[in-house]
Every structure is written in structure tokens, then in C-alpha cells.
Amino acid sequence: MQELGLNAAAIAASLGVSKTIVSEWLKGKKFPRPALLLRLGKLLTLSYSELVSSSGIAEPIVAYRKHGNAKVKAEDEKRAKGMGKAANLLVPYLPFGRLSAPARLISPRVEAAYVEEAALETRAAMGCVGKQVHFEDIIGLFGELKTVLVPVLWGEKDSLDNALHVYLPDSQTTLVYLNLDTKLFDFKFWMLHELGHSKTSGLLNSTDAEKFSDAFASAILVPENIAIEEFDRLSEIPDMGARILRVLAVARELIVSPVTIAKRIDYIAHSRGGEELLGKAIFGANTNFNKEYGLVSSGIFFSDTPNAIDLIRISEEIFKSPFYSALRSYVAEHGESEGIVAASLGVGPADAKAILDALVRR
């Protein structure tokens, strides 16, 4: 600016913004919108890397939850990290204390006794009545973990994504993007899996974190007392077909995948020194079981073709998500920009415009 003979007032006049905004850019209190950043770079003949310093911002840590053995591609990870960097801009608008750390488990470890106790405590915190865990029961536990749920519509066939976990180290904030185009029993499992990650974030290595979260989710959905009860019952049934029919009945009662129930029962068998009661035989029955249930999205939207207004309403009313409120506050303060919407949600220009219009209209 000195070399070019420019002051804040001159830059403000050239870009059509207030001198106050320019002063806040220079102090690092605010960040220019993409279009203004581009014009500022041209005005000062500076590149993006010369204008923007990112060395003080920790890189987001991301993890995709894919169907089956689907691999995470390099472009997936790049896109997810871009979403995390954009979400960092929304952190000041989230209803979390900046100096407070999220509540986490004490000394978590992948040991059966520990996992069972953690699951039992979590069920008590959810106030579950009866055997079945509803996904609405799980939602309230994320806030104290500084975890933001972001429901998304990624499709069932075109996408292999169940969820995306984005951790922002500087603020210790986590965003969990949950695909609503998922079967209900899978959706509950992935919510609890992500809850396990939020409760242990930074306290376990990546391999143990995955093992813990899988075991934690299973133990909440199928409590130990039920697993033992069903093990005892199936031990008295010699016919494999009859065993599978019983597991399917329990799966319908709990709305839990038959595979999850079978694994819990077979674990009890192993712990008692016996052989598996179900093993791989459950997988064929699981395929037919899946056909009995629709997607979560079809059950919570009034329309078969939900729009941006519907998605925001569901996110705020059902999932108690502060994400869109933070996004709304950001665009109100920094000006309407499809860029922050597209970047933080990982959506294309058309969807970003629709969501921005819905945010502004509400």
C-alpha cells in the first residue's frame, strides 16, 4: 500500500466498501469475500499467497465414512478439507465458548469392559426409555462436545458417503455431515459412531479410534444385557434358519441392522469360549431386511423433492443444528456470498444459490 501510495480510504473507494471494513481486513478481524479479495489482489498487484497467511491456522482433520470397503479418493479429501477451512470462518458465530474445551471420555481405550460402561452411561444420558434408541435421542449429546450436526442430501446410489467428520483443531470444534439418504438403522449407527469419535477426539490413535467408535455404537444400539439374553436364547435353537428369524425379529424391534445384532451375539459366544452362533449366515438375511426400510430423508420431509428451505428447517427443528444460523449470521455481516455456502457445504453453484436465497428469505 505504501509503495503504491494507497491508504485505507483509497482502497475503500476503489473497491466500493467502507473504510471501516478495510481497516478490519488489515487488522485481521474480518476477511474479504472472494470477489473483493480478487479485486484487492489486482489493486495491490499481489497473489493470493501474498495476501493471505494460513500458517497460523491448523489444518482441518477429516474422515469420510464410506459404504462397505469404498476407498476415499484424493479429491474427496481435498474437498473435505476445503469444507473445513470454510467452516472455520463460521466458528465465531457458533453457540460455543471460545475458551472452553469439549467434554470427553476419561482415558478411553478399546477394552470390552470400558466400551460397555461408556455405552451404558451414554444410554442413561440419552434418557432412553425401553430398548430402542431413536435418532432423536442422540441429537442432544453433541452440543456439549462442541460438535455441529449438518444434515445433507448426498443421495443413496450416486454417493458412497454415510458421513463426513471434520475436526477444527484451533477451536476444538467438530462438524459432522450426516447423509439423510441412508437407511434408518445405518443412520443411527453412524450418528453414534460419530458421537464416539467426538467423545475421544485426539485421545486415541486413528486405528483404535475407529475400533472404539464401532464398538461404542454397537453397544449402545444393542445393550449387553440384550446381547446376553439373545445369546442364551439362540443357544437353545439348533436350526440356523430359526436363529436368523429370531435375530430379524429383534432387529425389527430395535430398528438395528441384523449384522450388528449378530456380531454382538457372536462376541458373547467368543468371550465364553464357544463357536459363533450366526457368523456369515446373517449377511444374506440382512440384504432382504434392508429392503423393508426406506431412507431417513423420505420419513422426515413432507415432499419427495425437498428444497433448501425444507433442509434448513429440518436441520434446525429436528437436528437442533446451529450451522445455518451461523451461516446466516456470517452472510449478514460479510455480505451475501454463494462462495461461503458452497465451500462450507461442499455443494455446487446452483445448490449454493438456493441455500443462500433460503437463508436470506427466512
Could you read off the pLDDT of 10-52 as tens digits, one per residue?
A: 999 999 989 888 888 887 777 787 778 888 988 998 877 677 7
Pairing of strands 147-152, 173-179: parallel
What percent of the chain stands above pLDDT 90?
Answer: 65
pLDDT of residue 230: 97
Taking each helix axis from N to C end, the angle separating 258-271 and 282-290, rounded to the nearest 10 degrees, works out to: 150
Report CA 274 to chain centroid distance, whole Å.
38
pTM of this prediction exceeds 0.85: no
Q: Which residues of the chain have pLDDT under 70?
A: 49, 53-56, 67-70, 157-160, 362
Helix 308-317 to helix 323-334 angle, to the nearest 10 degrees? 120
Kindly give, in sequence order, each residue whose CB lies less than 8 Å from that of residue 213, ignoring residues fewer than 6 positions away. 193, 194, 196, 197, 200
pLDDT of 158 reads: 55
Domain check: are 273 and 136 in the same one?
no
Fill in the amino acid letter for 228.
I
Q: Is 237 part of any domain? A: yes
Domain boundary among 205, 221, 237: 221
Q: Containing domain of residue 118, as a range? A: 61-221
Residue 2 lies in a domain: no
CB 312, CB 324: distance < 8 Å: yes
Tell me whether residue 318 is in a domain: no
33 C-beta neighbours (distance < 10 Å), count: 18
Is the domain of 166 the same as that of 291? no
| Cβ 296 vs Cβ 156: under 8 Å | no
Among candidates 232, 256, 234, which has minimal Cα distance to 245? 234
* 24 belongs to a structural domain: yes
Q: What is the pLDDT of residue 225?
A: 94
Q: For residue 67, what pLDDT is reported?
A: 66
> Both 32 and 154 in a single domain?
no
pLDDT in tens, 188-229: 999 999 999 999 988 888 899 999 999 999 999 999 999 999
Alpha helical stretches, state H, 167-321: 184-200, 206-221, 224-235, 240-254, 258-271, 282-290, 296-300, 308-317
Same domain, yes or no: 169 and 26: no
Cell, residue 83: 469444507
Counted domains in the chain: 3
pLDDT of residue 53: 65
Residues 82, 38 share a domain? no
Are both 208 and 105 inside the same structural domain?
yes
